A and B are shown apart, each in its own frame.
Chain A
Amino acid sequence: MIDAEPAASAAPEISSIIALGDDETLTPIDPRDIPVTRIGYAIMMVPLIIGTMVLEIAQLTIAGIFIVPALILSVYLIFIFPPRQYRRWGYHMGSDRIRIVRGYLFYSDTVVPFGRVQHIDVSQGPVERRYGIATLTLHTAGNHNSSVPLPSLAHEDALALRETIRAHIKRDTL
């Protein structure tokens, strides 16, 4: 399933979208990121909700002092945050480098030249696999940014990107 050689045209189309005051247009990540992130946060919040419910039922403290903030946080993380986070992700494949942009409050804009990539991971968690998306991780030799993740790409796109980048590593050395 991994070793399929995708055609070059299978590479994701650089179409739009996020204008960040720079000359390049960034490709958004796959919208299936939103449900996957939601499920991730939902799973994360389960222990917290159970814990606060136990406290609530035991009536040790003022009613609602823990469960109300926990519920608010859950609603925010599950319903409001994922689409916002999704909109802040973007990448741009250049001819010799990849640029990965993310975050709003904590914004970061990383450029990794293909010639500096050590090895490449394409990984999928169970939820990601169900939705058909994958995370592409580039490893560099630098201490900072020793691994640069690009989450939520369509699985075929992640594989195509990997092939493209790997082909550059080959070509650059010749």
Chain B
Amino acid sequence: MTTFAASSWNFDVPGAPVEVLLFALFAALAIFGALRVVTASDPFVSALSLLFNFVSLGALYLMLGQAFVAISQILVYAGAVVVLFLFVIAYLGDRRELAADAVRARALRPFALLGVLALMVTLVAVVITADFPKLAELHDTAAGFGFGSPQAIGETFLGTYVLAFEVTSLVLLVAAIGGIVLGLTGRARHDRLRKLMQTRSADQQKRLHESEERKLKSERGVGTT
């Protein structure tokens, strides 16, 4: 094994207990993290638990001999996604409870739970009964790069998957547009609201509110005529 072979362990030794132990540890951590995300009542705890999940998945990727994916996992998920979540949760303060209403009727919840359990049983049964493909021998790529190494990934990414590489940039542009548009709308209204809250009497507040409404209408502009 070429990647990660620099370390002192050799993962290819059959029956090496250290790998079984590591797998058990990280699998347990990943499941624990995922369960905490779903069960915690505080979104802050959920987001932190997700970190456990992400980091243990990164470790599992490393054990599968895929160093570059593992590093990306840590950088992108733990470094960016979780931080973004924590930032938004802190920013929203006590307004974290926003009903998402994915399942509308409460009466449907037991069925949703049953459905999910059925899904888990089915998937695990599929994995157990499936004939897994034989483990292929690891070879260096044609250019001589090791399995899972950044060079080999780059070769595939900019070779076969160059279209996906290019289109990903467009997806990121769309996400940036979305973030800015939605964030700016919220921000502009928030500022107006703060001005509103700073005034003291209810009468003042009402007058200011009305003038704000007028200003908003005039900003909205031509449509009203």
User: Does A pair with B?
Assistant: no
Q: Please give the residue numbers on chain A whose beta carbons come within 8 Å of chain B beta carbons, in ascending order.
A: none
Residues of B within 8 A of A (CB): none
